[in-house]
Amino acid sequence: KAGVTQTPRYLIKTRGQQVTLSCSPISGHRSVSWYQQTPGQGLQFLFEYFSETQRNKGNFPGRFSGRQFSNSRSEMNVSTLELGDSALYLCASSLPADYGYTFGSGTRLTVV
Amino acid sequence: QQPVQSPQAVILREGEDAVINCSSSKALYSVHWYRQKHGEAPVFLMILLKGGEQKGHDKISASFNEKKQQSSLYLTASQLSYSGTYFCGTGGGADGLTFGKGTHLIIQP
């Protein structure tokens, strides 16, 4: 079965711009969560969506936002990009909480 | 609260055993384990639930001590393919996972 698909794989943006990343979960998975991975901070939770509702958000500024559509696909948006937003952004989908997460290959965002 | 993993790094010869530990200051309902190879996404290995249930990889074992809020991942007879960074994660569901900083495992031939 198809895995979690993230697009695009790579992005280069300029400071001040905004960016939208996309995630298509495994069919049947209604929970989608997003993580930021950097060498210094490791894997950090951004937010989690279930049935189009954001159930929780990590400790990130309001410039980071997301949404989930009725087909469970999710997008995250980062506005007014800063150099420190350069990171690998990972999306993960799962069945209910007692199951493991399947991660996508990520979107590597570079802000210059 | 981020779980603490130990050791930070370990180098083994093929066939040797390794134990990776994960401890939390918060009461745990479940612990997840993932492995990430360089340039790739984290891959689910195992989830351990309060009460003793485990779901995951056939060839990897783990323990979960609810009282001590600790989990350990046991890699026996390590293979070259076991190399990578191992992360434990706590929480899950609506709260998302809080990951430890990772344990770098290098298996040498």
Residue with tokens 């990776």: B20
Q: Which residue has the tokens 């937010």?
A: A47
Interface test with B, best of A37, A50, A90, A99 (most B CBs within 10 A): A99
Q: Which residues of B touch A107 (CB under 8 A)?
A: none
Write the residue in B34, B40, B98 that is nearest to A45 by C-beta: B98
pLDDT-derived band at A14 (thresholds 50, 70, 90) equals very high
Chain A residue with Cα closest to B36:
A103
Copy the structure tokens of residue B50.
């309060």
Residues of chain B with Cβ-Cβ distance to A48 below 8 Å are: 93-96
**Confidence class for position A97, pLDDT limits 50, 70, 90:** low
Task: Find residues 70-109 of chain A whose CB sits inside 8 Å of chain B.
Answer: 90, 94, 96-106
Whether chain A has a CB inside 8 Å of the CB on B3: the answer is no
Give the C-alpha separation, A101 to A33, whole Å.
Answer: 9
CB A52 within 8 A of CB A69: yes
Enumerate residues 10 to 39 of chain A having a beta carbon within 8 A of any beta carbon in chain B: 31, 33, 35
State yes or no: pLDDT of B53 exceeds 80.
no
Q: What is the pLDDT of residues A45-70, one digit of tens each?
A: 999 999 999 998 999 999 999 999 99
Q: What is the mean pLDDT of residues A34-40?
A: 95
